[in-house]
């Protein structure tokens, strides 16, 4: 398959299990439950503020969401928590894939979709 978005991702994403993520709902649930996604962002935010030695006011409440963003592993489209978008991610939340790339590559990569809510604690 010849596609500008492919750069050897099959080495680590073949047969991966992915989870469908819809923002901003996913963030609102994370914030309410203080789940693993929330805790990941919280950690990033605190590290950033500690390193910068300022901006502590940005750690209050939902503001920490603005410390996080990521990019589609294939086309580099940006994903953030505060606008409506559908993405897919791996269970460790390290790899994010936009809807278009998910649809284009689901078959050749043999991705399995986990639609349960059990993976994120």
Q: Footprint of Zn ion on this chain (CB under 5 A)?
A: 72, 74-75, 77, 98, 101
* Least gap, CB of 104 to Zn ion (angstroms): 8
d(CA 35, CA 30): 5
d(CA 120, CA 11): 25
* Least gap, CB of 77 to Zn ion (angstroms): 5
* Least gap, CB of 121 to Zn ion (angstroms): 27
DSSP 61: G
Residue with Cβ nearer Zn ion (41 or 72):
72
Tell me the chain's radius of gyration from C-alpha atoms.
16
Residue with Cβ nearer Zn ion (30 or 72):
72
């Amino acid at each position: 398959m010849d596609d500008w978005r492919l750069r050897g991702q099959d080495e680590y994403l073949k047969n991966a299990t992915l989870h469908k993520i819809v923002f901003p709902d996913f963030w609102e649930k994370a914030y309410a439950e203080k789940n693993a996604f929330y805790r990941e962002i919280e950690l990033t935010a605190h590290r950033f503020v500690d390193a910068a030695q300022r901006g502590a006011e940005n750690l209050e409440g939902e503001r920490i969401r603005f410390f996080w963003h990521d990019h589609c592993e294939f086309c580099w489209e940006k994903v953030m928590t505060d606008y409506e978008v559908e993405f897919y991610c791996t269970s460790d939340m390290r790899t994010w894939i936009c809807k278009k790339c998910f649809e284009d590559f689901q078959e050749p990569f043999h991705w399995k979709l986990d639609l349960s809510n059990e993976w994120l604690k």
